[in-house]
Amino acid sequence: MLAREIPGAIEAGRRAIELAERFGQDEQLSRALNAVGSAQWFSDPDQAPLTLGRSLEVARENGNDQLVAIAMSNLGSGPARSGATPSPTTGCAKLSRGAPSATSTPTGATRRLGSRAATSSRDAGLRRERRWRAWRPSAW
């Protein structure tokens, strides 16, 4: 994944998930889910928080604080690294224990967050398109 071979990283990670589930290796399952979820920020940003959320759940269930911290770190930093904007329905706030979702608390600040998240979701496709146009090799 660090070499940005995203499809290969996701494929290898999914195989690792299958093996970890088959052999009951919860630590390796959490690590594999974390790797796949981190790669998904670049290819499928709506799925990434769900995969990382599952990694977080597995780590919490097994009391592995290190893997909990890694999953939470990738949930928080993934959108910034990939330029993705999580949608309000799958956003990181819903996956963090104790953190309110954009619509659960009727405060003005939360309502503003919800509308900002909705606006960001509409504009996310345009931002990705602009980044792609600026990055693509023919522009060099």
Q: Where are the domains of the chain?
A: 6-139
Mean of the per-residue pLDDT values for the chain?
Answer: 74
Q: Are 83 and 65 in contact (CB under 8 A)?
A: no
Rg (CA), the chain: 16
Q: Which helix H or strand E contains 80, and what residues bound it? A: helix 65-82
% of the chain residues with pLDDT over 90 = 48
Average pLDDT over residues 5-26: 95
C-alpha distances out from residue 102 to 46, 53, 71, 139, Å: 16, 17, 21, 38
- The proportion of the chain whose per-residue pLDDT surpasses 70, expressed as a percent, equals 54
Q: 121: exposed, middle or buried (C-beta count within 10 Å: 0-12, 13-18, 19+)?
A: middle
Least confident of 27-41, 84-98, 116-130: 84-98
pLDDT for the residue numbered 108: 41
pLDDT at 23: 97
- The pLDDT assigned to 12 comes to 95
pLDDT digits (tens, 9 = 90+) for 74-118: 998 877 766 665 554 444 544 444 443 333 444 444 334 444 444
